[in-house]
Amino acid sequence: MRRAGIRVRALLFGDPDLSPLEAAPAGDIASAAGRGDASHQRKNTKRLISEQTNKNVLTLPNTRGNMSTSSKTQEEFIMEFMYIRCSTKDQNEARQVTKAKELGIDDRHIFIEKASGKDFERPIYQGMKNATLREGDVLYIDSLDRLGRNYEGIVAEWQSLTKEVGVDIVVLDMPLLDTRKNKDLLGTLISDIVLQLLSYVAQSEREKIRTRQREGIDEAKAAGKYKGRKPVEVNPYEFEKLLGEVRSGERTNKYVMDKLGLTRTTYYKLIGEYDTKTGRFEE
C-alpha cells in the first residue's frame, strides 16, 4: 500500500527520488490540472495515471508455450476407452478388440475381462471405473449386454457412470444409446426408454439361457447321459501345503483359490473333504 501511495503521489506532484518508471513527468500533471474546471482536471489526472501505469506493466514470457488454457478446447482433454467382456474363457474377444482398433482407441485404454455379466463385481471393470475414468471421458461398449445382463444393475450402473463419474457412453450396436448426442430433455428421455428396454431384453436373454441349460441337464439325466461337470483335479500335496499356510496365517483363502483355479464352493468343499479324511479340523 505504501508503494502504491508513493507512485500516485509521484504521478501527481513529481518526485525526483523516483525513477522514470515510477513517476510521470510533473509537467504533464500540472498541465492537466491547469485546464478546465475541477471535474475536468480530475478526469485528465486519472487518464494520465492510467496511461503511465499501463506503460510500466511488465509482460512475462509464456513458459507454457502454446499450451495456454484459453486456447485449449475441451475435446483435447477427452480420453476414449473401451470395455470388452466375455462370459467364459472359451469366448474370444477378438471381434470386440477389432472394433476398438477401428475407433482408434489406444491399446492401453482397452479393458478386457472374462467374467459373467450377472453383476458388476468384476475387478477389471471396477478398477477402470474407480481409478481410470474421469469426467468428460468416453466409454465404448460393443453392445449393452457386454456391460451386463442384470436389468436393475445395468440401469443403476449407467446412471452411476453418466451422472456420478461424468463419462459419456457409446453403445456401438445401438446408435440411440450415445450420450454425447441429444443432451436435451427429449433426447435424454428417448435414451432412458431405450436403455430400460434393452436392459430388460439382456436380463431376459440371460434367464432364457439358464432355462435352456436346466432343461438340457434334466433331459440328459433322464436319458442317463448326464455326467456333471468335469471333476477338478488338484494336487493333494500342494493343496495340503497351501491349506497349512492359510491356517498358519501366511496365506489367504483367496490366494489359494486363485493359485489353484478353484471356485469358492469347490475350495471349501475340498477343505471339508480334507478335514474329514485326516481328522484335522480347524479349531
Distances (CA, A) of 219 to 206, 211, 226, 234: 20, 12, 8, 30
Residue 135's nearest CA partner among 61, 77, 193, 86 is 77
> CA quadruple 7, 13, 17, 22: dihedral positive or negative?
positive
Q: Across the strands, what pairs with 81?
A: 139
Residue type, 141: I
Looking at the annotation, which residues are catalytic? 87
